[in-house]
Amino acid sequence: MARPGRTSALRRPPPYNGPLNSSMTTLLVTLPRTLPTAAMLCEGVLSDDGFTVLSVVQAPAALLPAPSSAVIVAVVPACRLSWHRLALPRGALKGGLFQDGNAGRLRAVLDGLLEDSVLDETSHLHFAIEPKPRTDEPVWVATCEKAWLHAWLAMLTQAGRPVARIVPELTPPSGDGVVSLHVTGTADQPQLMRTGPEGVTLLPLSVASAALMAWPEDAEVLAEPGVAELAEHFFNRPARLQTPPERWLAAAQSDWDLAQFDLLYTRGTRTRKHLSAMISSLFRAPRWRAARWASVALVLANVVGLQAWAWKEQSSQAAQRAAIRNLLTTTFPDVRVVVNAPVQMARALSDLQRRNGIASTADMETQLGHFKAAAPDTPVPAAIEFISTELRLKGLSLPASAVAEIAARLQAQGYRLRMDAEGLTMKEERFP
């Protein structure tokens, strides 16, 4: 019986606005299953957009590629994780997942709930809760050996490849997600990984496991090229080809980040290092050269524009000052040195009015008239003193609010009023 043709996972997936930024180079490092050594080979995938495989590498941690500003993501193999569906006590997620000191309390809750569900001591395990958990629904909790995970993170950091995120190779579907079957390995040792409401299950692929495992008729089958024909034979349906690097890239598109609890601080440190690398890339990477030149051109255009505007304003102000000086020297030829043209012009005009018997704004009579108009209900002062254009009204004692109101009215007329121990002092206020 002829089977429908295989579909391939090599096509580009639809755009994704998740954790990976398509404008960044991404290096995915799949952590080996054993504890690290300096010579142990790590499988890595380099992608320039987070969706397509640019190159596949296999090298020790110190020899993995490290492009400038690359996002380094560690992928935890499915065989290294166990999954648990837990109903957390009410209030366990209060105040946010890891906010306001909630991490220690939440860790203690998980220790109590998982104590009888795991084979190892809970203190030897690393826990991670699903992203954006709901307080009224059970949550997925991933567990793995803490010493193994910490050892690999330390090894990569020491090799100059600090990890920005830690993602699981496969995750249970959110909500009532569909079941998917992943066939990996070789034709001699095929392996089946099932993701569904029960979590992620790993079994050797055989007639018995295929018959015993519950899987719906519409479950998607994804297989590596070397075991695709075997997968189609066992499940009697076409298999979509998916290479291991493509499976790791798909894992990096999820919202999961296993860097939680005791890895929160190191995750923040890695994030700061990554931001620093991004800034360095903006100044050095060839792909940002056009943006750098555009930024420089924009800054230069603004600087030139500001300089031109400043020069125009300075020229206008200089022309105005020259016109005022010319008006002063033309109107009052006796003024030979111009220091402060407005003040000198007001003083010369006042002297001219005084010589011609015309009351000026600085004379006592004029100031008394303005004060009377501004404060008609003020009592008669005990004494009036006028010295050098300054009028002093002695013996007046007014409330501060009344003095402030009279001062405001006189200021509009060009006079300043202040109160001292002897009374009120009024003087013409000349501005330069």
From 284, 311, 342, the end of a domain falls on 284
Q: What is the pLDDT of residue 353?
A: 66
Position 221 in a domain: no
Q: Give the neighbor-by-neighbor strand order of the sheet with 383-387.
A: 383-387, 390-394, 423-428, 415-419
- Residue 74: strand, helix, or coil: strand
From 337, 358, 379, the end of a domain falls on 358
Measuring CA to CA, which residue among 292, 282, 274 is closest to residue 70? Answer: 274
Burial of 428 (0-12, 13-18, 19+ CB in 10 A): buried
Residues 347 and 378 in one domain: no
Which domain, by its residues, includes 136? 13-174+243-284
> CATH no. for residue 154?
3.30.420.380
Q: Give the neighbor-by-neighbor strand order of the sheet with 125-129.
A: 82-86, 139-145, 125-129
Position 27 in a domain: yes
Residues 34 and 160 in one domain: yes
Rounded to an integer, what distance in angstroms lies between the CA atom of residue 18 and that of residue 263?
21
Position 228 in a domain: no
Cβ atoms < 10 Å from Cβ of 305: 10
The secondary structure of 202-233 as a DSSP string is EEE-SHHHHHHS---TT-EEEE-GGGHHHHHH
pLDDT above 60: residue 211: yes
Q: Summarize pLDDT for 307-351 with one digit per residue, the tens.
A: 999 999 999 988 888 888 888 788 877 777 777 777 777 777 777
Residues 271 and 322 in one domain: no
- Residue 68: strand, helix, or coil: coil
Residues 256 and 376 in one domain: no
Residues 100 and 137 in one domain: yes
Residues 271 and 151 in one domain: yes
How many domains does the chain divide into? 3
Q: What is the pLDDT of residue 31?
A: 95
Residues 298 and 391 in one domain: no
Is the Cα dihedral 314, 316, 317, 323 positive or negative? positive
Residues 92 and 29 in one domain: yes
Residues 279 and 381 in one domain: no
**Which pLDDT band holds residue 277 (cuts at 50, 70, 90)?**
low
376: left (phi over 0), alpha (psi -120 to 50) or beta: alpha
111-131 mean pLDDT? 88
Residues 6 or more apart in contact with residue 150 via CB below 8 angstroms: 126
Residues 262 and 135 in one domain: yes
How high is the mean pLDDT of the chain? 81
Q: Report pTM.
A: 0.59
Using CA atoms, how far residue 109 sits from 90, 151, 370, in Å, is 11, 26, 82
Rounded to an integer, what distance in angstroms lies between the CA atom of residue 122 and that of residue 127?
9
Position 204 in a domain: no
Residues 157 and 298 in one domain: no
241-250 mean pLDDT? 93
Residues 50 and 127 in one domain: yes
Rounded to an integer, what distance in angstroms lies between the CA atom of residue 28 and that of residue 248?
7
Position 118 in a domain: yes
270-299 mean pLDDT? 71
Measuring CA to CA, which residue among 293, 271, 272, 273 is closest to residue 282? Answer: 293
